[in-house]
Amino acid sequence: MKKLFIFSLIVIELLVIFYLILRIYKNNKTSGKALINPIDKNNISFDGKNKLKYFYESKANSIEKAGPPLPFEATYTINSDTLNERYDYTVNKPKNTYRIITLGDSFTYGLYNDTKDNWPERLEDLLNKRVKCTNKNKFEVINLGMQGYDVQYEAYRFLKRGEKYDPDLTIWFIKLNNFYQINEIMLPKVKQYQEEMQKNGTLDQSYAPWSKALTATYNSLGETKILKLILEFIQGFDKNYKNNLILMTFSDTDKKYKQLLVDAAQKRKKTYVFDQVTNTYKIDQYHFLTDWHPNQKGHQKIAEDVFEYLTKNKIVPCD
């Protein structure tokens, strides 16, 4: 029952994220409907050994599908370390290899796209095809993105899965909903409202319990407190990782959120803010027309933006 409940929360969470994005961008779009790919509970594992009560991951060595009744068909290949990846990566970094970790939510995971088409995979291909170094003969981009994650979960995912890979660079894609989404505070409220609505016979498959919990959390904490927590989560990342870090967001992210990333970067060495990623929400060719997630072209564009930033600013050392 616990796993079924948590699975339901994940689905509700994703629905609400999409709803909020639709609401924020409603002045820019007049049509289109956010869709949801329910996460098969048989492909999800839950971590009961850490302080994050609701933390979840895909099951290792599994295949996940997006498809009917959705208008998208995609296959996610989950490797032996629970990552949406084409390959397994050795823990010990091969000689002359430059290793990158990517963190984020469904936009980094690559929801509705085959594993080979998400932007971290495309970035890995671009680096290996276009960058020629005498001191580096291979680039690895290891994708730790997971659908539905907030900033705190993304940081813990690195601690649990990413730290052992000893990355030279970590790219953390922090987008709109990540600046107000705090799963561990909201989810108990979601459970409360879900039970109340079910008892009253008003519970359906909509985002209502999560939306109500989000509002209640926002009203009780206030934006200042929420942003303070987000900043603390980002700054706390420094305890487990000392190498290069890029905090990445869309080009038209609100100034106050960009400033939060700048504030985090100023208090940490080897940290950059890349705030000029093309907003795939606003360009039809870059997202699914019945959903706001990037399609293959959108992921390719994000990968190209990141590649250009890395090479132009010489963040990747190459002799």
Query: DSSP readout, the chain?
Result: -HHHHHHHHHHHHHHHHHHHHHHHTTTT-SS------PPPGGGEEE--SSS-TT-EEEPTTEEEEE-TTSS--EEEEE-TTS-B-SS---SSPPTTEEEEEEE-SHHHHTTTS-GGGSHHHHHHHHHHHH---SS--EEEEEE---TT--HHHHHHHIIIIIGGG--SEEEEE--GGGGT--HHHHHHHHHHHHHHHHHHT---SSSHHHHHHHHHHHHHHHHHHHHHHHHHHHHHGGGT--SEEEEEEETTS-HHHHHHHHHHHHTSTTEEEEEEE--GGG-GGGB-TTSSSB-HHHHHHHHHHHHHHHHHTT-S---
In a domain, 239, yes or no: yes
In a domain, 317, yes or no: no
In a domain, 318, yes or no: no
pLDDT at 224 over 60: yes
Task: Compute the average pLDDT of residues 177-189.
Answer: 85
In a domain, 319, yes or no: no
Confidence grade of residue 197 (pLDDT, cut at 50, 70, 90)? confident
pLDDT digits (tens, 9 = 90+) for 280-313: 989 999 999 888 899 999 999 999 999 999 999 9
Task: Compute the average pLDDT of residues 215-238.
Answer: 91
pLDDT score, position 205: 54
Cα–Cα distance measured from residue 116 to residue 19, given in angstroms and rounded to the nearest whole number: 27
pTM: 0.84
In a domain, 153, yes or no: yes
Mean pLDDT lowest for which of 8-12, 24-28, 242-246?
24-28
pLDDT at 27 over 50: no
pLDDT digits (tens, 9 = 90+) for 117-148: 999 999 999 999 999 888 889 999 999 999 88
Domain span holding position 257 = 2-312
pLDDT digits (tens, 9 = 90+) for 35-50: 333 444 455 555 555 6
Task: Compute the average pLDDT of residues 80-91.
Answer: 97
Tally of structural domains, the chain: 1
CATH code for the domain of 105? 3.40.50.1110
pLDDT score, position 176: 85
**What pairing do the DSSP bridges indicate for beta strands 56-58 and 44-46?**
antiparallel
